[in-house]
Structure formats: structure tokens, C-alpha cells
Amino acid sequence: MGASKSEFFSEQQNELASLFKAISHPARVAIIEYLLKVDSCICGDIVNELPLAQPTVSQHLKELKNVGIIKGNIEGTAICYCLNPDTMKKLESYFSGISSELKSKCC
């Protein structure tokens, strides 16, 4: 085997895992932080910012977009990417929910 047994887990668990997988790579964390820094939305100079070739960056952007972490709007020849606030809030509330339920009754 080797394939993930995702069919045995809930849809929500799979969706969360997909979100985390999308940001489980340092380049994609760096893309998120760069998009946060340049608060107007930037397209392809992410390629200049990162030590990765253009096809690699394009692939990383695609993965972030597929799970809804970023959005991309076509502006002429360029594409303007930005963070999706809804997804960020969803992730924030997931962890704040865990933190508030954790009554530190630990081993």
C-alpha cells in the first residue's frame, strides 16, 4: 500500500488535512507571509522573491488556490493573487476552538 486511507475519515477531517497539507511546505508558508506583507495584491514577483523557478512557484500557487487559501484575479496578462480572509478565519477558529476546549487535564 502507501495510499492514504482518506475514505475512512470524515469529510471535515479530510478538508482540514488538505488545508494543512497546502501550507505544509516552507515555500508555501513564505508565499502566505509575502502576500500578507505586500498588502496590495501581487502577482508574479513572488517568483523574484523566492529561490524557486517559475513553474515551481506556479505549481505552489495552484495548490494554495485549489484549497481556497489564496484567490487569483486576472488583470490583463498578469494574475493578482491574494490571501482569502475566510479561510484564514476558518483556521483561526479551528485552533481557538481546540485551545478553549483544552482544559489542560493532561498526563
Chain residues in the site for DNA (CB under 7 A): 1-5, 21, 24-25, 27, 43-44, 47, 52-56, 58-63, 72, 74, 76-79
| Among DNA, a second copy, none, partner that 76 touches (CB below 5 to 8 angstroms by kind) | DNA
Rg (CA), the chain: 16
Give the separation between CA 78 and CA 102, rounded to whole angstroms.
Answer: 45
> What span, in angstroms and rounded, lies between the C-alpha atoms of 58 and 44?
9
Strand partners, 96: none
Which amino acid, 33? Answer: E
8 binds a second copy (CB under 8 A): yes
Alpha-carbon span 80 to 71, nearest angstrom: 8
Q: Which does 67 bind (CB under 5 to 8 A by kind): DNA, a second copy, none?
A: none
The contacts of residue 72 (CB under 8 Å, 6+ apart) are 61, 65, 79, 80, 81, 82
- Restricting to residues 50-89, name those near a second copy by CB under 8 A: 50-52, 71-73, 75, 80-83, 85, 88-89
Question: Which residues of this chain interact with a second copy, rule CB under 8 A?
Answer: 4-6, 8-10, 13-14, 16-18, 20-21, 23-30, 32-33, 36, 39-41, 50-52, 71-73, 75, 80-83, 85, 88-89, 91-92, 95-96, 98-99, 101-107
